[in-house]
């Protein structure tokens, strides 16, 4: 029995009997539940196409390197910039003072550099310990889930939407 199967409403001013009121209430509740049970999402579990055999194309900018090589090149660039600043300040000091002793300037400006290098070497030696080896043993069937979630946050009042790609 649906809402369209109901008997016509009584004339204005006539109350419903208890049985009619109960039937009417059940129809309204059933109709509301049918609307709520409509599917709200669909997940397509068909496998994604495999990646082709073409080689990756280098992008403009820094050439592709490992993370360790990238860190080392950044460190070299920063060290070069620091050395240049120290050298230019020493040269400016000697030129503008016209009586600064080059040996005294080398000692004063070279001492902090030597100290930084020594501290850096100590830190590097303390970091050479190997990370702990972790062995994980599984029994039974192992299922590896390779889904990814894309997160988008926008607006002054942040509204985050997590979506799995289809």
Q: Which of 33, 31, 12, 9 is nearest to 20 (CA)?
A: 9
Q: Rounded to 5 degrees, what are φ and ψ at 139? A: -120, 140
Q: What is the rounded average pLDDT of the residues 74-81?
A: 90
Distances (CA, A) of 70 to 15, 20, 84, 102, 118: 83, 79, 21, 36, 23
Q: 128 pLDDT band (50/70/90 cuts)?
A: low
Q: 65 pLDDT band (50/70/90 cuts)?
A: confident
* 17-51 pLDDT, tens digit each: 889 889 999 998 888 777 666 666 778 888 877 77
Q: What is the rounded average pLDDT of the residues 122-139?
A: 76
Contacts 24+ apart (CB under 8 A), 54-57: none
Whether residue 71 is predicted with pLDDT greater than 60 in this model: the reply is yes
């Amino acid at each position: 029995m649906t809402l369209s199967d109901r008997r016509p409403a009584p004339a204005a001013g006539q109350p419903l009997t208890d049985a009619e009121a109960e039937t009417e209430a059940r129809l309204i509740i059933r109709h509301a539940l049918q609307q709520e049970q409509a599917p709200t999402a669909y997940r397509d579990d068909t496998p994604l196409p495999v990646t082709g055999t073409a080689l990756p194309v280098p992008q403009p900018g820094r050439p592709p390197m490992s993370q360790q090589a990238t860190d080392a090149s950044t460190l070299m660039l920063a060290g070069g910039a620091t050395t240049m600043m120290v050298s230019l300040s020493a040269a400016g000091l000697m030129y503008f003072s016209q009586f600064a002793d080059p040996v005294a300037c080398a000692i004063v400006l070279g001492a902090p550099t030597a100290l930084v290098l020594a501290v850096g070497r100590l830190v590097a030696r303390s970091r050479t310990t190997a990370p702990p080896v972790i062995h994980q043993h599984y029994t039974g069937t192992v299922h590896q889930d390779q889904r990814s979630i894309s997160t988008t946050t926008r607006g002054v009042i942040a509204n985050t939407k997590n979506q799995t790609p289809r």
